[in-house]
Amino acid sequence: MSLTTSPILEAVGLSKTYPSANQQLQVLQDISFSIQPGETVSVVGPSGSGKTTLLGLCAGLDRASSGYVALNGIRLQDQSEDALAGIRNKYIGFVFQNFQLLPTLTALENVMVPMELKKEKDIRSRALELLDQVGLASRSHHYPSQLSGGEQQRVSIARAFANQPKILFADEPTGNLDAETSEKVESLLFNLNKAAGTTLVMVTHDLELAAKTGRIIKLKGGKLVSDESNREVVTS
Ligand code: ADP
pLDDT at 2 over 80: no
pLDDT tier at 26 (50, 70, 90 boundaries)? Answer: very high
170 within a domain of the structure (yes/no): yes
Distance 178 CA to ligand 1 centre (A): 25
50 is in which domain, residue-wise?
9-234
Q: Which of 53, 61, 63, 171 to mutate to test the pocket of ligand 1 (most atoms within 8 A of CB)?
A: 53
4 within a domain of the structure (yes/no): no
| Per-residue pLDDT tens over the stretch 129-146 | 999 988 899 999 999 999
Distance 64 CA to ligand 1 centre (A): 13
140 within a domain of the structure (yes/no): yes
| Per-residue pLDDT tens over the stretch 66-85 | 999 999 999 998 999 999 99
Q: What is the CATH number of the domain that holds 213?
A: 3.40.50.300
Number of domains in the chain: 1
47 within a domain of the structure (yes/no): yes
Average pLDDT, the chain: 91
64 within a domain of the structure (yes/no): yes
pLDDT at 177 over 90: no
Per-residue pLDDT, 4: 64
pLDDT at 236 over 50: no
In DSSP terms, which residues pair with 227 in a beta bridge? 217
Say whether 47 sits in a helix, a strand or coil.
coil
* Cα-Cα-Cα-Cα dihedral sign, residues 50, 51, 52, 54: positive
pLDDT at 20 over 50: yes
2 within a domain of the structure (yes/no): no
CA-closest candidate to residue 187, choices 173, 175, 176:
173
- Assess contact for 37 and 197: CB atoms under 8 A: yes
pLDDT at 205 over 60: yes
Q: What is the DSSP string of 144-178?
A: GGGS-HHHHHHHHHHHHTTT--SEEEEESTTTTS-
With a 6 Å cutoff on the Cβ, whether 49 touches ligand 1 is yes
3 within a domain of the structure (yes/no): no
Distance 170 CA to ligand 1 centre (A): 17
pLDDT at 3 over 70: no
